[in-house]
Amino acid sequence: MTSSNKREKIVNTLKEKTNNAPDIKYKDFIINKQNVTFIYSMSVSSSTSINDFILRRLDEEKGKIKDENIYEYIKNFIPNNNIIPFDKKEDISYYVMSGFTVAVFDDGRLLAFENRASIYGSISKSENERGLKGPSDAFSENYQFNMGMIRRRVKTEDLWIDEKTIGTKSKTKVAMFYIKGLTSEETIRNINEKLDKINIDYVGNTNYILEAMSNTNRFILPTNLSTERPDFAAQMLMQGRIVLIVENSNEAIILPCLFLDFFKNPEDYYEKGLNVIISRTVRFVAFFLTVFTPALYISLMAFNWESLPSGLLISFSVQREGVPFSSIFEILVMSLMFQILRESDLRFPGKGGSSISIVGALVLGQAAVEAGVVSPITIIIVGIASVSSLAFSSIDLINACRWWQLFLIIMAWMFGFVGVLFGSLIILATLVSQSSCGVPYFSPFEPFSLKEQPNVIIPTKKEKFHPKNIFKKDGRKEK
């Protein structure tokens, strides 16, 4: 094998292993009839440093270089505070994805120059997914920086990136990250087909992609998971998921998405398993309180008085004495007021929103009770359901809970406990009949997987997600 063939083989092998990733660049130089290829990643390296201290210097000096040993010249005269000679070709991807520029010579020798990009000064803290443990950095609107945030955490050539341009007018870049060999090929093909079918003029952020990928809006629960934390995106990649990064968006899309993913939190992986059991159990309880508490209260008030102990029945009767409205009207009005306060809290400029919403809730609740418009137990029920919904950071899940809560309230008002039970069966049937990118939405419960049951409550560092084992084969509705 000639010297030039050694360099070409190394470069071609890296391109093959990384699927010719769009952020990895290859720059060829010919100096004294000798070839040198510089390899670097645009997402984690400083392009200014590479241009000013390597590429431009060599371009200006290549006609003046008399040294026949180009390797020694570049090693000794390129200004860089950290130059690392190495021999293992397997280390090229590690250095490139760590912010180094790797020089590959005709004879197969390798040099690494440190050119890390200072991206953390431009990255803000996560606002919507704040945690007590773990990294607090978040994605930004800078597409290249977002790619670098993932590259810095997953330094392997198995991290493949498929880049597409979507939007006939906006020409927005969308990068699809996945771990080759870990992510199901069927999942990759399924999502690629969905992205290729998107035909819209403008892509503003991730929601444009999600809306275009969805076949229907009749399923109110989100079939995708959005995150602004790069550490969580990296964790999902290591579980076999696919992560989509959209230009000009500070969120990443995680696909496929399961119903149980909304009960997990990024910081679960930084705590002891026993502590996480309590946290996830609380989230499950909060979900059931949010969806079922108002409906159960209305069924008791309207149909099933006999189910209450006599002491509690007397207490409820005393509290509701003099209230002119029915229990369902009280619940709906107070729930609406709480949602208005919550929306005003989210939209209020500055830092005074929380104080205003808390004071508003206390004043309105107390005034309504004293005026005899609603009963105190109604305030308690609405408060329990509304506060429980705040245990989740996903606004899509919270909105879905609102719809389910309203549906069960109507069923309870019409049929009592029987209506709540029938409505619960409808919700459950809807969950098990859906899929996300070909993966059953309610797995690992349906289809049941005994091996994956422990991960529902207890996170492990080796937690895996293998959709190739649970792909839909029974005509589930595709999302």
Q: Tell me, what's the pLDDT at 134?
A: 72
Lowest mean pLDDT among 136-145, 331-340, 469-478: 469-478
Residue 141 pLDDT > 70, yes or no?
Answer: yes
Q: Tell me, what's the pLDDT at 120?
A: 55
Q: What DSSP line would sit under 41-87, residue for residue?
A: ETTTB-HHHHIIIIIHHHHHHTTT---S-HHHHHHHHS--S-EEEE-
Q: Is the N-terminal amide bond of 467 cis, ω within 30° of 0?
A: no
Write 421-426 long-range contacts (CB < 8 A, 24+). Answer: 423/295, 424/292
Element (H, E) at 299: helix 273-302
The band of 341, judged by pLDDT with boundaries at 50, 70 and 90, is confident
pLDDT digits (tens, 9 = 90+) for 248-265: 888 899 988 888 888 888
Residue 348 pLDDT > 70, yes or no?
Answer: no
> How far is the CA of 223 from the CAs of 195, 201, 308, 449, in angstroms?
16, 24, 39, 20
- Residue indicated by tokens 């997600």: 465
Give percent of the chain with pLDDT exceeding 90: 20
The band of 479, judged by pLDDT with boundaries at 50, 70 and 90, is low
The band of 359, judged by pLDDT with boundaries at 50, 70 and 90, is low
Q: What CA dihedral angle connects 239, 240, 246 and 251, to 10 degrees? A: -20
Residue 224: closest CA among 251, 184, 249 = 251
Q: What are phi and psi of 78, to 5 degrees?
A: -75, 120
pLDDT digits (tens, 9 = 90+) for 381-420: 888 888 888 888 788 888 888 899 999 999 998 888 899 9
Mean pLDDT of 298-316: 75
pLDDT digits (tens, 9 = 90+) for 94-132: 899 888 999 999 888 999 999 888 755 556 677 677 766
Residue 63 pLDDT > 90, yes or no?
Answer: no
- Yes or no: say if 49 and 115 are a contact pair by the CB < 8 Å rule: yes
DSSP 3-state of 104: strand
Nearest-angstrom CA–CA distance, 40 and 93: 9
Lowest mean pLDDT among 199-203, 228-232, 474-478: 474-478
pLDDT digits (tens, 9 = 90+) for 48-57: 888 888 888 8
- Yes or no: say if 201 and 169 are a contact pair by the CB < 8 Å rule: yes
Q: Tell me, what's the pLDDT at 84?
A: 92
The listed range with the strongest mean pLDDT (116-120, 327-331, 373-377, 421-425) is: 421-425
- Yes or no: say if 438 and 472 are a contact pair by the CB < 8 Å rule: yes
Residue 315 pLDDT > 50, yes or no?
Answer: yes
DSSP 3-state of 331: helix
- Yes or no: say if 273 and 463 are a contact pair by the CB < 8 Å rule: no
Mean pLDDT of 208-229: 78
Entry pTM = 0.80
Element (H, E) at 227: strand 225-227
Buried b (16+ CB within 10 A) or exposed e, 253-288: bbbbbbbbbbbbbbbbbebeeeebeebbeebeebbe
Mean pLDDT of 338-343: 78
Residue 367: closest CA among 354, 358, 376, 355 = 376
Residue 144 pLDDT > 70, yes or no?
Answer: yes
- Residue indicated by tokens 């629960």: 221
The total of other beta-carbon atoms located within 10 Å of residue 190's CB is 21
Residue 467 pLDDT > 80, yes or no?
Answer: no
Mean pLDDT of 154-169: 90
Q: Tell me, what's the pLDDT at 469?
A: 44
Nearest-angstrom CA–CA distance, 407 and 418: 14
Of 452 and 84, the structure prediction assigns the larger pLDDT to: 84
Give percent of the chain with pLDDT exceeding 70: 83
> What is the residue-averaged pLDDT of the chain?
81
The band of 460, judged by pLDDT with boundaries at 50, 70 and 90, is low
Q: Which amino acid is at 286?
A: A
